[in-house]
């Protein structure tokens, strides 16, 4: 579980990032990010109904949350991130999801 200070919680925060942010894609997930006004990193996770029913969507979010955790220390500060699951993410192994997370962060030049 991510610590509360790292989480995006409000719908307004998500909408702001979707509207103002930039994106990077991999086969299994999309990263939407923007510079934030806070000093810390803020991370949110999303999965649409295309991914599956509520049980499958929640599993996808748990997998992404677990995959992002090791990269928190290396991610660029003062940014807000939303990781969006794509179809088929739940059929992937955790190591593949971690590679996907690393790929989108590297593509967006947000890893240090």
Average pLDDT over every residue of 71-91 = 93
Average pLDDT over every residue of 81-100 = 96
Residue 8 lies in a domain: yes
Decide if 39 contacts 77 (C-beta within 8 A): yes
Residue 64 lies in a domain: yes
Read off the pLDDT band of 36 (50, 70, 90).
confident
**Domains identified in the chain, total number:** 1
Here the CATH number for the domain that contains residue 24 is 3.30.230.10
Average pLDDT over every residue of 95-102 = 96
Residue 111 lies in a domain: no
Residue with the bigger pLDDT between 112 and 28: it is: 28
Residue 42 lies in a domain: yes
Residues in contact with 2: Cβ distance below 8 Å, sequence separation at least 6, in sequence order: 43, 65, 68, 69, 72
pTM: 0.93
Residue 76 lies in a domain: yes
Q: What pLDDT shows up at residue 102?
A: 95
C-alpha span between 87 and 40 (Å, rounded):
30
Identify the CA nearest to 42 among candidates 86, 88, 85, 10: 10
Domain range for 56 is: 4-105
Residue with the bigger pLDDT between 6 and 50: it is: 50
Residue 78 lies in a domain: yes
C-alpha span between 41 and 50 (Å, rounded):
28
Q: What pLDDT shows up at residue 6?
A: 84
Residue 110 lies in a domain: no
pLDDT in tens, 43-73: 999 999 999 999 999 999 999 999 999 999 9
Residue 112 lies in a domain: no
């Amino acid at each position: 579980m991510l610590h509360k200070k790292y989480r995006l919680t409000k719908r307004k925060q998500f909408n702001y990032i979707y509207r103002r942010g930039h994106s990077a894609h991999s086969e299994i997930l999309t990263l939407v990010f923007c510079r934030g006004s806070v000093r810390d990193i803020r991370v949110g996770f999303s999965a649409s109904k295309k991914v599956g029913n509520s049980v499958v969507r929640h599993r996808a979010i748990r997998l992404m949350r677990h995959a992002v955790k090791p990269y928190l220390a290396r991610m660029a500060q003062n940014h807000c991130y939303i990781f969006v699951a794509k179809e088929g993410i739940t059929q992937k192994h955790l190591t593949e999801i971690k590679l996907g997370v690393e790929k989108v962060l590297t593509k967006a030049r947000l890893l240090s």
